[in-house]
Amino acid sequence: MAEQDPAAQVSGPQRLSFPVEEQAHQWLPMLLDAYHTADAGVAEGIRREALQGRTLACAKGCSACCRAHTTIPVYPLELVGMSWFVTEKLAGRLREPLKRQLRAHRNGQPCPLLVDGVCSVHPMRPLACRHFNVFGRACAEGEDAYYTRRKDVLTPIPKYKDDAFFVMLPFYGVTRKSERRKLIKSGAMHQMARVLQECNWDGLANRMDDFDRKGWQSPRDQDGSERRR
């Protein structure tokens, strides 16, 4: 689901930026570039629909699709990004409830990353979520508009969608442009997708605990300076 910032509608979506972390993690810049490309495509798709008199129903605070969809596709690089984000970046009131929810999650249940109606990974949500946008009226509880009213669901613009995947493929060792184009055209790369709800979320909760313990284990870094969080 897209939450459209009024400023972004004028200037276009802004690329997420984590300068220090992007230097430390080779995978992060390509994932952020892919998401920026996808967001630009969604913004352009919404703009084209608006010219036809259609109004986006998705808005901040709506999480109907997060609860109704139980087979959200997610790619390995996206899982790396989401895991990193909740482990090292997510703070505040969502962190502890998210860990409890991850541990309690079972296959077939709604997205385990939705906490009290809030997407805990919204900046790093996967392409499937970024691309899913509904026009007209908001989804009813339990409704998957893709099946109940397909004409109201945004169809991603192929060029932007393909370009996003093109940027991600080097993560999987596919660096030659010709090979990347071939995998995208054939659809073969989609065989890497997993169902988000079927991943090992209990393991992620443990990783978050490990990070929290290490972060508070010693008040000083190795050089003796006080550690700040």
Domain regions of the chain by residue span: 19-209
Task: Assign 60 a pLDDT band (cuts: 50, 70, 90).
Answer: confident
Number of other residues whose CB lies within 10 A of the CB of residue 92: 7
Helix (H) or strand (E) holding 77: helix 76-88
Give the C-alpha separation, 228 to 105, whole Å: 32
Query: What are the pLDDT digits (tens) for 111-136?
Result: 999 999 999 999 999 999 999 999 99
3-class state of residue 197 by DSSP:
helix
Query: What are the pLDDT digits (tens) for 69-90?
Result: 989 999 999 999 999 999 999 9
The answer to whether the CB of 126 falls within 8 A of the CB of 76 is no
Query: What are the pLDDT digits (tens) for 36-54?
Result: 999 999 999 999 999 999 9
Give the C-alpha separation, 174 to 178, whole Å: 9
Q: Which of 59, 165, 64, 147 is nearest to 111 (CA)?
A: 64
Does the predicted model carry a pTM greater than 0.75?
yes
Q: Which pair of structure tokens corresponds to residue 224?
A: 């003796």
The answer to whether the CB of 130 falls within 8 A of the CB of 46 is no
**Residue with tokens 């978050």, as numbered in its chain:** 208
